[in-house]
Amino acid sequence: MAETEKNPSINENDLLMHTQLDNESWHAFQIISEYVSAAQALDKITPAISFFGSARSSSDDKYYKLTEKIAFLLSESGFNIITGGGPGLMEAASKGAFRGKSKSVGLNIVLPKEQNPNKFQDISINFKYFFMRKVMFVKYAFAYVVCPGGFGTLDELSEVITLIQTNKSKKVPVILVGKFFWEGLVGWLDHSIISENFANKDDLNIFKVLDDPKEIVDYIFSCYENNDNDLSFESNNLNIHL
Q: Residue 218 pLDDT > 50, yes or no?
A: yes
The mean per-residue pLDDT over the stretch 109-113 comes to: 72
- DSSP secondary structure string for all residues of 6-22: PPPP--HHHHHHHHHHH
The Cα–Cα gap between 187 and 207 comes to 13
10-49 b/e (C-beta count within 10 Å ≥ 16 → b): eeeeeeeeeeeeeeeeeeeeeeeebbeebeeebeebbbbb
Three-state DSSP class for residue 109: strand
Q: How many residues does the chain have?
A: 242
Spatial distance between the Cα atoms of 53 and 38, rounded to a whole number of angstroms: 22
Per-residue pLDDT reduced to its tens digit, 25-55:
777 878 888 888 888 888 888 899 999 999 9
Between 53-57, 59-63, 90-94, 107-111, the lowest mean confidence (pLDDT) is in: 107-111
All domains in the chain, ordered by first residue: 47-225 (3.40.50.450)
Q: In sequence order, which residues have a C-beta less than 8 Å from that of residue 135 and are 6 or more positions away?
A: 35, 240, 242
pLDDT at 181: 97
Q: In whole angstroms, what is the distance from residue 157 CA to residue 146 CA?
A: 7
Query: Given pLDDT bands bounded at 50, 70 and 90, which one contains residue 233?
Result: very low
Contact 104, 83 (CB under 8 A): yes
Q: Which distant-in-sequence residues (6+ apart) come within 8 Å of 177 by Cβ?
A: 53, 63, 66, 67, 70, 145, 146, 147, 148, 209, 210, 211, 216
DSSP 202: G
pLDDT in tens, 164-178: 999 998 899 999 999
Beta bridge mates, 50: 82, 144
Over residues 48-70, the mean pLDDT reads 96
Average pLDDT over residues 135-150: 94
Task: Supply the pLDDT for residue 200.
Answer: 93
**What pLDDT does 39 receive?**
84
